[in-house]
Amino acid sequence: MKYYFVISCCFIVVGCGGSSQEQTNQVNTQPQNSVQQITQQTAQPTTPTSTLLIDNLADDKFQFSQFSDHTLVIDPQSYGFSADTVFVKVYTEDGNTLFLGKISGVLNLNLYLENIKSKVIIDMFSIVSGDPQITQEINL
């Protein structure tokens, strides 16, 4: 029973496909004037409808970047720390740690972050009991 069904499906598929000689004759028998008119109409400039990068060229002054460079300067003495060494953690809003360490003096930090990052968070503390513990958000 399966074999008869498969064979009958093959006949249906073969019968539906293909082209006839009449259709090819209709395409070839178009008058020459109408072909010239069609080519003249399509020769006019149109707006690009393609989404390919090669078809849509950008302006020479155009810039695109997904990351930006930021310089962050941290001076622990300006925050009122009396200790020589201060522990610093710099991280983003989503918790990605950018710097974690002990510094003694001014910290110059070059950050290369995604453009969607708008701020970083700084935590500072020292081992001296009178020094403050600071958490600060810095807008980039």
State the fold for domain 67-139. Answer: Immunoglobulin-like (2.60.40)
Q: Which residues pair with 106 in a beta bridge?
A: none
Which pLDDT score, from 0 to 100, does residue 108 have?
94
Which pLDDT score, from 0 to 100, does residue 45 have?
54
Report the candidate in 87, 57, 86, 91 with the shortest Cα–Cα distance to residue 72: 91
Q: Residue 94: pLDDT above 70?
A: yes
- Least-confidence region, from 54-63, 66-75, 117-126: 54-63
Report the candidate in 108, 99, 106, 105 with the shortest Cα–Cα distance to residue 84: 105
**Of 17 and 29, which is predicted with more confidence?**
17
Which pLDDT score, from 0 to 100, does residue 52 have?
86
**pTM: predicted TM-score of the whole model, two decimal places:** 0.55
Which pLDDT score, from 0 to 100, does residue 60 have?
81
CB 28 within 8 A of CB 19: no
